[in-house]
Structure 1
Amino acid sequence: MSEPELVVRFTEEDAARELRTEVRVGLTDSPKWLSPKWFYDAVGSDLFDQITVLPEYYQTRAEQQILQQRALEVAEITGAATLVELGSGSSEKTRLLLDALRKNETLERFVPLDVSGSALRAAVESIALDYPELHVRGVVDDFTSGLSALNAGAKRLVAFLGGTIGNLLPAERARFFAAVRAALRPGEWLLLGTDLVKDPDRLVRAYDDARGVTAEFNRNVLRVLNRELGADFEPENFRHVALWNAEHEWIEMRLRAQRPMRVGLPELGLTADFAEGEEIRTEVSAKFRHDRVRDELAVAGFELHRWWLDDAADFALSLAAAR
């Protein structure tokens, strides 16, 4: 068994600097916004885990079903020796891919990339223990800027699962796809999970569940700012809002001020004023159609090779080859 590696390219100091910069820009913009990346402290990550098993939230189950049915096909088509995963490397979905590639007798290397050093360290140790023949090299970095990690390994398959691509705005998606393509050689592969356009009421329910877990997840970003920036947000005075934007075909999550408020952020030397009813946009979650995925990948230099759906046609897994 080779010792797993952990390469830190994005430190806690980098994260703190980025948080200060983004919050200053977002809360002085009009309308106000915050990045969804700041949801995921320990509490936020636990809340998201709870969301994935809610009856309203189908995405995780749908994607897992596709992988259960198609992972071996992915392995046979790609013949990948290196699996690069953007995001957590410890989930059951990851292991479905690892098991299929191992069964195909091509797998040599696993490179998980995640912004959370503690989460990635645990994932790397767990995978290395369960797959002792595998060379595991974890990279702590932001997937939107850390794609130089893809330079490690041969015959690479990059997996970007969970529908996370929908959190990027169209221009950000274009830059992301172009960066992935630039890091790959012709004939290497991208496996992409995308949630699909469907009944708006059903989509809204998936982001505004009856138990209120998603509402707590959304408000948690304010608690993160209170802790990290000395802010004095009163999260209970912000209402969780999820709505469907038909023009852009995405869900927006917002936090709506229930009364006029002045919030201090002493670490930034900033004061943010909120009128009653004023909102902070905290997340966009784009939903996709086949043609949009195909066309955006094509612009970046990928050819869509396979398009798989779950049984209910709620979610898609795309396999695309770098041209």
Structure 2
Amino acid sequence: MIFRADTDKGMIFFSSYLILTILCVLVSTTAGAEHLHGPAFTSPDHIAPVPEGWANRPLKRNQADINADLVVSLGQQSWPILHEIIVEYARVKKLNIVVKQGTCGITAGRLLKKSVDVGAYCCPPGENDRLPGVEFHSLGISPIALIVHPDNPLTGVSTAQAREIFQGQISRWKELKSHQKGLPHRLIQPVARLHCKIRPGHWRLLLDNEDLFSPRLFEVGVIPDMISQVARNTGAIGMEVPSMMEYHRAKGEVRMLKIDGHDPRDMDYVRSGGYPLYRTYHLTTWKQDSRANRLARELVSWLQSHIEKIHQDISFVPPSELKAAGWKFRGDELIGEPSGSDFDKH
């Protein structure tokens, strides 16, 4: 149906089709706003494609590691937590364990080359990480805190406000709808480390991809720079887990915000699945039976037991507590939140 009106400025046509189109756009925009976050996990049923014959190839260590009993690849998050205790484990067990630094991406490359026995991830595995013959063993989860300069009087934000801040929709602290007084008028400087873009979880639980972040985002590549950038700028807001804030405290002082009224150090709430942002930690082993793989599984099992003992010191929720709270596991791998194993949920 078309409505027509004559005016001195010409003919104006209003069509029901146009009205319907506008309504569809509005509905689509609203729906999109509710799904700004990315997936929390990938399906453990997925197997990454590999070249023909790859699955049957033996491990081939680099020449420098040829005499090692085990080669372990750690990342930015796992190195500070695991490196020293792996070295001590090797001393006690009289093993030659080579521990290499890297990132999740570097670990993935080493596993694809079959040059390491154990790999560490600070995120849930992405689809391409699920190589044939690779098993994932979860160490636990840790809350990702929103962090600000100590002089910022703000104490907390909602999840929705956090998304608006990092999108750039809220650009000044004064614009926050908060009962709190004394918020500065200055510009907000969002800071993020957009690592592991192809993997689920971590910062993608806030905003799914880099295109959703503010054009004013200050992007850093390493954890120490995240801490130092927020510590030196009273208008900054970033995100990091508590253990890394402690490990890199020499880079400056920062303060954690509550999200939806909950402190990230409230581990009971994190355990319940209610806290919106968290990081998962995994180690990998190979399924094939060999002396090295048996040693690798023994090491991973020992590390899991060690994390169970020290989890409070490093702000972890370990696998035993996650299982008791209803988080979903398949074998040794965490695959879903307490409400279900819907891999696209969060």
Pairwise same-fold verdict (TM > 0.5): no
* Structure with the higher fraction of residues in strand conformation: 1
TM-score by length of 2: 0.31
Structure label with greater radius of gyration:
2
Q: Which has the higher contact order (CA 8 A, sep 6+)?
A: 2
* Structure with the higher fraction of residues in helix conformation: 1
TM-score by length of 1: 0.33
